[in-house]
Amino acid sequence: MATFTNLNRLGGALAGAAAALLLVLALPASARAADYDTTLTQLDELQTLAETYVQEQNTGADPVLLTLAYTRGGSYNDSLWQLTAGAKDGDFETYVRQENADLAELVGLGTLTTAGGESVDFGHLLASINLVYNGLPITGSWGGDCMELAKYYQGQASDAEGYAQLMTASFNLEDDGSGSVFGAPDLRADLDSVNIGTQLSADSRLADVIRSYYQDLTEYDRCYQFIARTFGTVNTGEDSFRDRVYETMTGDTGMQLLLYTEDMWSAADGWAVSADAEPALQGAAYVFADYLSGAVNGERVKNDEAVGLTGMARSALAEALSALGDSDAASAALAAGDSDTAAGSDSAASTVDSALDGATQTLRSNFDATIFQLVLLIIGAVALFGLILSVVMLVREIRRTR
Protein backbone atom coordinates (compact mmCIF):
# COMPACT_ATOMS: atom_id res chain seq x y z
CA MET A 1 0.00 0.00 0.00
CA ALA A 2 2.82 2.42 0.83
CA THR A 3 4.53 1.73 -2.53
CA PHE A 4 1.30 2.38 -4.39
CA THR A 5 0.73 5.61 -2.49
CA ASN A 6 4.23 6.94 -3.09
CA LEU A 7 4.09 6.04 -6.77
CA ASN A 8 0.74 7.69 -7.12
CA ARG A 9 2.01 10.87 -5.45
CA LEU A 10 5.03 10.92 -7.73
CA GLY A 11 2.87 10.41 -10.78
CA GLY A 12 0.61 13.20 -9.59
CA ALA A 13 3.58 15.49 -9.09
CA LEU A 14 4.84 14.71 -12.58
CA ALA A 15 1.42 15.38 -14.09
CA GLY A 16 1.13 18.58 -12.09
CA ALA A 17 4.55 19.70 -13.27
CA ALA A 18 3.58 19.10 -16.89
CA ALA A 19 0.38 21.08 -16.39
CA ALA A 20 2.36 23.93 -14.82
CA LEU A 21 4.68 24.01 -17.82
CA LEU A 22 1.76 24.18 -20.24
CA LEU A 23 0.25 27.03 -18.26
CA VAL A 24 3.53 28.97 -18.29
CA LEU A 25 3.74 28.61 -22.04
CA ALA A 26 0.05 29.31 -22.67
CA LEU A 27 -0.44 32.41 -20.52
CA PRO A 28 0.15 35.79 -22.19
CA ALA A 29 3.06 37.86 -20.88
CA SER A 30 0.69 40.41 -19.32
CA ALA A 31 -2.04 38.15 -17.97
CA ARG A 32 -4.57 40.34 -16.22
CA ALA A 33 -5.11 39.92 -12.51
CA ALA A 34 -8.17 37.87 -11.62
CA ASP A 35 -11.13 39.77 -10.20
CA TYR A 36 -14.67 38.77 -9.33
CA ASP A 37 -16.54 40.20 -12.35
CA THR A 38 -13.88 39.11 -14.84
CA THR A 39 -13.84 35.61 -13.36
CA LEU A 40 -17.60 35.21 -13.66
CA THR A 41 -17.53 36.46 -17.24
CA GLN A 42 -14.80 33.98 -18.11
CA LEU A 43 -16.64 31.20 -16.27
CA ASP A 44 -19.70 31.86 -18.42
CA GLU A 45 -17.55 31.79 -21.56
CA LEU A 46 -16.05 28.49 -20.44
CA GLN A 47 -19.47 26.93 -19.91
CA THR A 48 -20.56 28.09 -23.37
CA LEU A 49 -17.51 26.36 -24.84
CA ALA A 50 -18.37 23.24 -22.82
CA GLU A 51 -21.89 23.20 -24.25
CA THR A 52 -20.57 23.65 -27.79
CA TYR A 53 -17.98 20.95 -27.25
CA VAL A 54 -20.59 18.47 -26.02
CA GLN A 55 -22.81 19.18 -29.02
CA GLU A 56 -19.97 18.88 -31.53
CA GLN A 57 -18.50 15.73 -30.01
CA ASN A 58 -21.87 14.22 -29.12
CA THR A 59 -20.35 12.86 -25.92
CA GLY A 60 -23.38 13.19 -23.68
CA ALA A 61 -21.16 14.79 -21.04
CA ASP A 62 -22.54 17.31 -18.55
CA PRO A 63 -21.30 20.82 -19.50
CA VAL A 64 -21.47 21.92 -15.86
CA LEU A 65 -19.12 19.12 -14.80
CA LEU A 66 -16.77 19.85 -17.69
CA THR A 67 -16.68 23.51 -16.66
CA LEU A 68 -16.02 22.81 -12.99
CA ALA A 69 -13.42 20.12 -13.64
CA TYR A 70 -11.51 22.41 -16.02
CA THR A 71 -10.92 24.95 -13.24
CA ARG A 72 -9.32 22.43 -10.86
CA GLY A 73 -5.57 22.76 -10.52
CA GLY A 74 -2.79 21.83 -8.14
CA SER A 75 -3.92 19.81 -5.13
CA TYR A 76 -7.51 19.88 -6.39
CA ASN A 77 -6.49 17.61 -9.22
CA ASP A 78 -4.54 14.95 -7.35
CA SER A 79 -5.50 11.27 -7.42
CA LEU A 80 -8.12 11.48 -4.68
CA TRP A 81 -9.84 14.43 -6.35
CA GLN A 82 -9.79 12.59 -9.69
CA LEU A 83 -11.25 9.56 -7.98
CA THR A 84 -14.12 11.47 -6.39
CA ALA A 85 -14.72 14.56 -8.54
CA GLY A 86 -13.81 12.82 -11.79
CA ALA A 87 -10.83 13.04 -14.11
CA LYS A 88 -10.41 16.15 -16.23
CA ASP A 89 -11.18 15.86 -19.95
CA GLY A 90 -7.93 16.35 -21.84
CA ASP A 91 -9.66 16.76 -25.20
CA PHE A 92 -11.86 19.51 -23.76
CA GLU A 93 -8.83 21.28 -22.33
CA THR A 94 -7.22 21.21 -25.78
CA TYR A 95 -10.44 22.55 -27.29
CA VAL A 96 -10.55 25.44 -24.81
CA ARG A 97 -6.90 26.26 -25.41
CA GLN A 98 -7.59 26.50 -29.13
CA GLU A 99 -10.77 28.55 -28.79
CA ASN A 100 -9.82 30.92 -25.95
CA ALA A 101 -6.42 30.50 -24.34
CA ASP A 102 -7.16 33.28 -21.82
CA LEU A 103 -9.55 30.94 -20.00
CA ALA A 104 -6.48 29.18 -18.58
CA GLU A 105 -6.63 31.98 -15.99
CA LEU A 106 -9.53 30.08 -14.41
CA VAL A 107 -7.30 27.15 -13.46
CA GLY A 108 -6.16 27.32 -9.84
CA LEU A 109 -7.83 30.59 -8.90
CA GLY A 110 -6.89 32.23 -5.62
CA THR A 111 -8.84 34.49 -3.28
CA LEU A 112 -11.33 36.91 -4.84
CA THR A 113 -13.44 39.66 -3.31
CA THR A 114 -17.13 39.11 -3.98
CA ALA A 115 -19.79 41.72 -4.70
CA GLY A 116 -20.44 41.92 -0.96
CA GLY A 117 -16.80 42.73 -0.19
CA GLU A 118 -15.92 39.34 1.32
CA SER A 119 -12.79 37.33 0.53
CA VAL A 120 -13.50 33.84 -0.82
CA ASP A 121 -10.99 31.25 -2.03
CA PHE A 122 -12.47 30.77 -5.49
CA GLY A 123 -10.22 27.89 -6.52
CA HIS A 124 -11.39 26.01 -3.46
CA LEU A 125 -14.99 27.13 -4.04
CA LEU A 126 -15.21 25.80 -7.61
CA ALA A 127 -13.40 22.54 -6.78
CA SER A 128 -15.75 21.94 -3.84
CA ILE A 129 -18.81 22.78 -5.96
CA ASN A 130 -17.53 20.09 -8.33
CA LEU A 131 -17.69 17.53 -5.51
CA VAL A 132 -21.04 18.76 -4.16
CA TYR A 133 -22.55 18.58 -7.65
CA ASN A 134 -21.06 15.10 -7.97
CA GLY A 135 -22.75 13.91 -4.78
CA LEU A 136 -20.01 14.40 -2.18
CA PRO A 137 -21.02 17.48 -0.19
CA ILE A 138 -18.66 17.15 2.77
CA THR A 139 -15.33 15.69 1.63
CA GLY A 140 -13.99 18.61 -0.39
CA SER A 141 -15.59 21.34 1.69
CA TRP A 142 -15.98 21.69 5.46
CA GLY A 143 -15.18 18.07 6.30
CA GLY A 144 -11.85 18.19 4.51
CA ASP A 145 -10.89 21.44 6.23
CA CYS A 146 -11.91 20.10 9.65
CA MET A 147 -9.65 17.13 8.95
CA GLU A 148 -6.75 19.46 8.08
CA LEU A 149 -7.37 21.39 11.29
CA ALA A 150 -7.33 18.14 13.27
CA LYS A 151 -4.12 16.97 11.59
CA TYR A 152 -2.35 20.23 12.42
CA TYR A 153 -3.16 20.03 16.14
CA GLN A 154 -3.16 16.24 16.61
CA GLY A 155 -1.17 15.23 19.68
CA GLN A 156 -1.36 18.64 21.37
CA ALA A 157 -4.35 17.96 23.67
CA SER A 158 -5.91 15.05 25.50
CA ASP A 159 -9.60 15.45 24.71
CA ALA A 160 -12.03 17.16 22.32
CA GLU A 161 -12.60 20.18 24.56
CA GLY A 162 -8.88 20.76 24.88
CA TYR A 163 -8.48 20.61 21.12
CA ALA A 164 -11.41 22.97 20.57
CA GLN A 165 -9.80 25.58 22.81
CA LEU A 166 -6.51 25.34 20.93
CA MET A 167 -8.11 25.43 17.50
CA THR A 168 -10.25 28.48 18.14
CA ALA A 169 -7.14 30.68 18.08
CA SER A 170 -6.40 29.88 14.43
CA PHE A 171 -9.94 29.42 13.11
CA ASN A 172 -11.81 31.82 10.80
CA LEU A 173 -9.09 34.46 10.65
CA GLU A 174 -9.01 37.05 7.87
CA ASP A 175 -5.51 36.36 6.61
CA ASP A 176 -3.58 34.77 3.76
CA GLY A 177 -3.32 31.45 5.56
CA SER A 178 -0.10 32.28 7.38
CA GLY A 179 -1.78 32.43 10.78
CA SER A 180 -5.02 30.57 10.24
CA VAL A 181 -5.19 26.83 9.72
CA PHE A 182 -8.85 27.11 8.70
CA GLY A 183 -9.17 30.72 7.56
CA ALA A 184 -12.19 32.82 6.67
CA PRO A 185 -11.75 32.65 2.85
CA ASP A 186 -11.64 28.83 3.08
CA LEU A 187 -14.55 28.72 5.50
CA ARG A 188 -16.75 30.84 3.23
CA ALA A 189 -15.80 28.66 0.26
CA ASP A 190 -16.83 25.56 2.22
CA LEU A 191 -20.26 26.90 3.12
CA ASP A 192 -20.88 28.57 -0.23
CA SER A 193 -19.93 25.46 -2.22
CA VAL A 194 -22.73 23.54 -0.51
CA ASN A 195 -25.26 26.33 -0.92
CA ILE A 196 -24.38 26.92 -4.57
CA GLY A 197 -23.73 23.31 -5.56
CA THR A 198 -27.12 22.12 -4.35
CA GLN A 199 -28.80 24.67 -6.62
CA LEU A 200 -27.13 23.44 -9.79
CA SER A 201 -28.55 21.22 -12.49
CA ALA A 202 -27.33 20.35 -15.98
CA ASP A 203 -29.32 23.34 -17.31
CA SER A 204 -27.90 25.88 -14.84
CA ARG A 205 -25.70 28.78 -15.82
CA LEU A 206 -22.97 28.45 -13.23
CA ALA A 207 -21.86 32.09 -13.32
CA ASP A 208 -25.44 33.32 -12.95
CA VAL A 209 -26.08 31.09 -9.93
CA ILE A 210 -22.88 32.31 -8.25
CA ARG A 211 -23.63 35.96 -9.04
CA SER A 212 -27.17 35.69 -7.69
CA TYR A 213 -26.01 33.89 -4.54
CA TYR A 214 -23.50 36.55 -3.55
CA GLN A 215 -25.88 39.43 -4.18
CA ASP A 216 -26.80 40.90 -0.77
CA LEU A 217 -25.56 37.77 1.05
CA THR A 218 -25.23 38.00 4.85
CA GLU A 219 -23.34 35.68 7.18
CA TYR A 220 -26.63 34.73 8.83
CA ASP A 221 -28.21 33.73 5.51
CA ARG A 222 -25.11 31.83 4.42
CA CYS A 223 -24.96 29.78 7.62
CA TYR A 224 -28.71 29.23 7.91
CA GLN A 225 -28.87 27.82 4.37
CA PHE A 226 -25.85 25.64 5.00
CA ILE A 227 -27.14 24.23 8.29
CA ALA A 228 -30.55 23.45 6.83
CA ARG A 229 -29.11 21.67 3.82
CA THR A 230 -26.41 19.77 5.71
CA PHE A 231 -27.99 18.90 9.07
CA GLY A 232 -31.70 19.29 8.42
CA THR A 233 -34.02 20.72 11.04
CA VAL A 234 -31.92 21.21 14.17
CA ASN A 235 -31.67 23.36 17.27
CA THR A 236 -28.22 24.94 17.04
CA GLY A 237 -28.41 26.27 20.60
CA GLU A 238 -28.32 22.81 22.17
CA ASP A 239 -25.10 21.03 23.14
CA SER A 240 -26.18 18.09 20.99
CA PHE A 241 -25.59 20.21 17.87
CA ARG A 242 -21.86 19.70 18.31
CA ASP A 243 -22.29 15.94 18.23
CA ARG A 244 -24.64 16.24 15.27
CA VAL A 245 -21.90 17.99 13.29
CA TYR A 246 -19.26 15.42 14.23
CA GLU A 247 -21.49 12.44 13.49
CA THR A 248 -22.54 13.90 10.15
CA MET A 249 -18.91 14.42 9.19
CA THR A 250 -17.65 10.97 10.17
CA GLY A 251 -20.79 9.21 8.98
CA ASP A 252 -20.28 10.48 5.45
CA THR A 253 -18.78 7.80 3.20
CA GLY A 254 -16.78 10.31 1.20
CA MET A 255 -15.18 11.57 4.39
CA GLN A 256 -14.41 8.01 5.43
CA LEU A 257 -12.46 7.57 2.20
CA LEU A 258 -10.55 10.81 2.82
CA LEU A 259 -9.79 9.98 6.46
CA TYR A 260 -8.64 6.51 5.43
CA THR A 261 -6.13 7.94 2.95
CA GLU A 262 -4.81 10.23 5.73
CA ASP A 263 -4.36 7.35 8.23
CA MET A 264 -7.12 8.73 10.46
CA TRP A 265 -9.57 5.90 9.80
CA SER A 266 -9.07 2.25 10.71
CA ALA A 267 -10.19 -0.69 8.62
CA ALA A 268 -8.95 -3.13 11.27
CA ASP A 269 -11.20 -1.91 14.09
CA GLY A 270 -14.61 -2.21 12.51
CA TRP A 271 -14.22 0.60 9.97
CA ALA A 272 -14.15 3.56 12.35
CA VAL A 273 -12.17 6.67 13.23
CA SER A 274 -8.71 5.81 14.55
CA ALA A 275 -8.53 6.13 18.32
CA ASP A 276 -5.59 8.54 18.21
CA ALA A 277 -7.33 10.81 15.68
CA GLU A 278 -10.79 10.89 17.24
CA PRO A 279 -10.30 13.63 19.91
CA ALA A 280 -8.73 16.04 17.41
CA LEU A 281 -11.47 15.41 14.83
CA GLN A 282 -14.11 15.94 17.48
CA GLY A 283 -12.46 19.19 18.56
CA ALA A 284 -12.42 20.46 14.96
CA ALA A 285 -16.10 19.58 14.54
CA TYR A 286 -16.93 21.37 17.80
CA VAL A 287 -15.17 24.58 16.71
CA PHE A 288 -17.02 24.47 13.39
CA ALA A 289 -20.35 23.80 15.13
CA ASP A 290 -19.84 26.67 17.59
CA TYR A 291 -19.18 29.05 14.70
CA LEU A 292 -22.36 27.98 12.90
CA SER A 293 -24.43 28.25 16.07
CA GLY A 294 -23.11 31.73 16.79
CA ALA A 295 -23.78 32.90 13.23
CA VAL A 296 -27.49 32.05 13.53
CA ASN A 297 -27.76 33.18 17.16
CA GLY A 298 -28.33 29.65 18.44
CA GLU A 299 -31.68 29.52 16.67
CA ARG A 300 -33.62 26.46 15.62
CA VAL A 301 -32.98 25.96 11.90
CA LYS A 302 -35.68 24.40 9.78
CA ASN A 303 -35.09 22.48 6.58
CA ASP A 304 -37.98 23.10 4.20
CA GLU A 305 -36.45 20.96 1.45
CA ALA A 306 -37.77 17.45 1.03
CA VAL A 307 -34.35 15.87 0.46
CA GLY A 308 -31.16 16.49 2.39
CA LEU A 309 -27.61 16.01 1.20
CA THR A 310 -26.33 12.47 0.76
CA GLY A 311 -22.87 11.01 0.42
CA MET A 312 -21.46 8.55 -2.07
CA ALA A 313 -22.94 5.06 -2.05
CA ARG A 314 -21.08 2.59 0.12
CA SER A 315 -20.58 0.38 -2.92
CA ALA A 316 -18.82 3.32 -4.59
CA LEU A 317 -16.68 3.77 -1.48
CA ALA A 318 -15.65 0.11 -1.65
CA GLU A 319 -14.83 0.49 -5.34
CA ALA A 320 -12.66 3.51 -4.59
CA LEU A 321 -10.80 1.65 -1.85
CA SER A 322 -10.22 -1.26 -4.21
CA ALA A 323 -8.80 1.18 -6.76
CA LEU A 324 -6.44 2.45 -4.08
CA GLY A 325 -5.15 -1.10 -3.73
CA ASP A 326 -6.69 -2.16 -0.42
CA SER A 327 -9.27 -4.91 -0.80
CA ASP A 328 -9.37 -5.49 2.97
CA ALA A 329 -10.49 -1.91 3.55
CA ALA A 330 -13.08 -2.29 0.80
CA SER A 331 -14.48 -5.38 2.51
CA ALA A 332 -14.51 -3.60 5.88
CA ALA A 333 -16.40 -0.66 4.41
CA LEU A 334 -19.02 -2.94 2.89
CA ALA A 335 -19.37 -4.89 6.13
CA ALA A 336 -19.89 -1.64 8.04
CA GLY A 337 -22.63 -0.79 5.57
CA ASP A 338 -24.67 -3.81 6.66
CA SER A 339 -25.53 -2.01 9.90
CA ASP A 340 -25.36 1.56 8.59
CA THR A 341 -28.63 3.37 9.12
CA ALA A 342 -27.48 6.86 8.20
CA ALA A 343 -29.98 8.53 5.87
CA GLY A 344 -28.94 8.37 2.25
CA SER A 345 -25.70 6.48 2.88
CA ASP A 346 -26.57 3.83 0.29
CA SER A 347 -28.48 6.00 -2.16
CA ALA A 348 -26.20 8.60 -3.69
CA ALA A 349 -26.61 10.32 -7.03
CA SER A 350 -25.83 8.11 -10.01
CA THR A 351 -23.22 10.60 -11.21
CA VAL A 352 -20.98 9.60 -8.32
CA ASP A 353 -20.91 5.96 -9.36
CA SER A 354 -20.37 6.79 -13.03
CA ALA A 355 -17.55 9.20 -12.18
CA LEU A 356 -15.92 6.59 -9.97
CA ASP A 357 -16.18 3.96 -12.68
CA GLY A 358 -13.93 5.92 -14.99
CA ALA A 359 -11.67 7.33 -12.31
CA THR A 360 -11.01 4.00 -10.61
CA GLN A 361 -10.03 2.41 -13.91
CA THR A 362 -7.51 5.21 -14.39
CA LEU A 363 -6.13 4.70 -10.89
CA ARG A 364 -5.84 0.96 -11.36
CA SER A 365 -3.82 1.39 -14.52
CA ASN A 366 -1.57 3.90 -12.75
CA PHE A 367 -0.91 1.44 -9.94
CA ASP A 368 0.22 -1.35 -12.32
CA ALA A 369 3.79 -0.02 -12.34
CA THR A 370 7.00 -2.03 -12.15
CA ILE A 371 10.21 -0.84 -10.50
CA PHE A 372 11.50 0.00 -13.97
CA GLN A 373 8.52 2.27 -14.59
CA LEU A 374 9.07 3.88 -11.21
CA VAL A 375 12.68 4.69 -12.13
CA LEU A 376 11.51 6.19 -15.41
CA LEU A 377 9.04 8.37 -13.53
CA ILE A 378 11.77 9.64 -11.22
CA ILE A 379 14.09 10.41 -14.12
CA GLY A 380 11.28 12.07 -16.03
CA ALA A 381 10.25 14.16 -13.02
CA VAL A 382 13.77 15.46 -12.50
CA ALA A 383 14.18 16.32 -16.17
CA LEU A 384 10.79 17.99 -16.38
CA PHE A 385 11.30 20.12 -13.30
CA GLY A 386 14.63 21.22 -14.74
CA LEU A 387 12.92 22.15 -17.99
CA ILE A 388 10.22 24.08 -16.14
CA LEU A 389 12.81 26.03 -14.18
CA SER A 390 14.64 26.91 -17.39
CA VAL A 391 11.46 28.05 -19.12
CA VAL A 392 10.36 30.15 -16.13
CA MET A 393 13.74 31.86 -15.95
CA LEU A 394 13.65 32.50 -19.69
CA VAL A 395 10.17 34.03 -19.50
CA ARG A 396 11.20 36.24 -16.59
CA GLU A 397 14.30 37.42 -18.48
CA ILE A 398 12.26 38.22 -21.59
CA ARG A 399 9.74 40.21 -19.54
CA ARG A 400 12.52 42.02 -17.65
CA THR A 401 14.25 43.18 -20.84
CA ARG A 402 11.05 44.41 -22.50
Strands 300-301 and 234-235: what pairing?
antiparallel
| Closest by Cα among 5, 12, 2 to 381 | 12
Q: How many helices (H) and strands (E) does the chain have?
A: 18, 6
Q: What is the pLDDT of residue 175?
A: 81
Strands 119-121 and 272-273: what pairing?
unpaired
Q: What is the pLDDT of residue 84?
A: 87
Q: Tell me, yes or no, whether 402 lies in a domain.
A: no
Q: What is the pLDDT of residue 156?
A: 97
How many CB atoms neighbour CB 305 within 10 A?
11
Q: Tell me, yes or no, whether 244 lies in a domain.
A: yes
Q: Tell me, yes or no, whether 7 lies in a domain.
A: no
Widest Cα–Cα separation across the chain = 68
**Residues in the chain, pLDDT under 70:** 1-33, 306-310, 338-402
- Structural domain total, the chain: 1
Q: What is the pLDDT of residue 312?
A: 80
Q: What is the pLDDT of residue 168?
A: 95
Q: Which residue range is the domain that position 218 belongs to?
A: 33-306
Q: What is the pLDDT of residue 269?
A: 77
The amino acid sitting at 204 is S
Contact 223, 236 (CB under 8 A): no
Containing H/E element for 111? strand 111-113
Q: Tell me, yes or no, whether 368 lies in a domain.
A: no
Q: Is the pTM of this model over 0.85?
A: no
DSSP assignment of 180-200 equals -TB-HHHHHHHHHHHHHHTT-
How far, rounded to the nearest angstrom, does the alpha carbon of residue 217 sit from its chain's CA centroid?
A: 23
Please state the length of the chain. Answer: 402
Q: Tell me, yes or no, whether 380 lies in a domain.
A: no
Q: What is the pLDDT of residue 188?
A: 98
Q: What is the pLDDT of residue 80?
A: 87
Q: Tell me, yes or no, whether 352 lies in a domain.
A: no
Per-residue model confidence as pLDDT tens digits over 225-280: 999 999 999 999 999 999 999 999 999 999 999 999 999 999 987 899 999 999 99
Please tell me the distance from the alpha carbon of residue 63 to that of residue 71, in angstroms, as a whole number.
13
Please tell me the distance from the alpha carbon of residue 263 to that of residue 67, in angstroms, as a whole number.
32
36 burial class (0-12, 13-18, 19+ CB within 10 angstroms)? middle
Distances (CA, A) of 330 to 58, 169, 337: 35, 38, 11
Q: Tell me, yes or no, whether 146 lies in a domain.
A: yes
Q: What is the pLDDT of residue 351?
A: 56
Q: Tell me, yes or no, whether 351 lies in a domain.
A: no
Please tell me the distance from the alpha carbon of residue 263 to that of residue 74, in angstroms, as a whole number.
22
385 contacts: CB under 8 Å, gap ≥ 6: 17
